[in-house]
Amino acid sequence: MRAALARRARRPYISGMFIETETTPNPASLKFLPGRQVMPSGTREFASPEAAEASPLAQAIFDTGEVTNVFFGADFVSVTAAPGVEWSSLKPQVVSILLDHFISEAPLFAGGDASGIAVPGESEMLVEEDPEDADIVAQINDLLETRVRPAVAGDGGDIQYRGFRDGVVYLQLQGACSGCPSSTATLKHGIEGLLKHYVPEVVEVRAA
């Protein structure tokens, strides 16, 4: 699902660590790799300064006043710049914030709670699913987990299942993939084609 291999850049070696950066299919987003674990389990997206209050790290990045989205993956942080912001000035700020966070070993979330683990729940489903579709839903989720999410994570984002009804699968793109110019093509030609091939009951994929 990646059009080309992303270019990587390294921050000079500072205090025992460096931050690698990768471009993503979304020109507004960069993927930052600290070379260590970010999320112990699951993923977490912050799409507003208010949401970022749950994490001192996300809040510090939003405090630059130049970002619209921060996303935590297993071993990366992807950041989406606000319209009109140049990465040449923003990237050093984000790298500095990440270095300060990981070198100081500060907690990722306020209060050290489990808010970092994002697990889709019943309340987040967009449609009421038919119990008779349980096997189909299981097949869809297995494909998403084993084939789709690793590829999307490589692009600095994640994808969440939001329901299946009448042949339609509802998915939500997060992180660098949210708002990406190629996200529609990713859903319609990539993920939809994969799911329809392996699960004949799937007729369409829609963005949540």
Taking only the tens place, the pLDDT of each residue in 14-54 is: 456 789 999 998 999 999 999 999 999 889 999 999 999 99
Closest CA to 71 of 170, 157, 135, 145: 157
**pLDDT at residue 53, as a whole number:** 94
Q: Per the structure, how many domains does the chain have?
A: 2
Residues 149-158 have a mean pLDDT of: 87
Q: Are residues 63 and 98 in the same domain?
A: yes
Domain boundary among the residues 92, 112, 132 is at 112
On whether residue 154 sits in a domain, the answer given is yes
Which long-range contacts link 108-111 to residues 24+ away (Cβ below 8 Å)?
108/38, 108/39, 108/55, 108/56, 108/57, 108/72, 109/54, 109/55, 109/56, 110/53, 110/54, 110/55, 110/56
Domain extent, residue 179, equals 122-207
Q: Are residues 100 and 146 in the same domain?
A: no
Q: Is there a contact between 67 and 61 (Cβ–Cβ < 8 Å)?
A: yes
> Looking at this protein, which amino acid is placed at residue 134?
A
Q: What is the pLDDT of residues 92-124, one digit of tens each?
A: 999 999 999 999 989 999 875 545 444 444 447
**pLDDT at residue 14, as a whole number:** 45
On whether residue 31 sits in a domain, the answer given is yes
Q: Are residues 58 and 131 in the same domain?
A: no
More confident residue, 160 or 14: 160
Average pLDDT, rounded, for the chain: 85
On whether residue 117 sits in a domain, the answer given is no
On whether residue 151 sits in a domain, the answer given is yes
On whether residue 3 sits in a domain, the answer given is no
> Looking at this protein, which amino acid is placed at residue 4?
A
Q: Are residues 128 and 105 in the same domain?
A: no
Percent of the chain at pLDDT > 70 equals: 85
On whether residue 72 sits in a domain, the answer given is yes
On whether residue 2 sits in a domain, the answer given is no
Domain boundary among the residues 89, 112, 135 is at 112
**pLDDT at residue 37, as a whole number:** 93
Q: Are residues 169 and 99 in the same domain?
A: no
CATH label of the domain that carries residue 139: 3.30.300.130
Q: Are residues 140 and 161 in the same domain?
A: yes
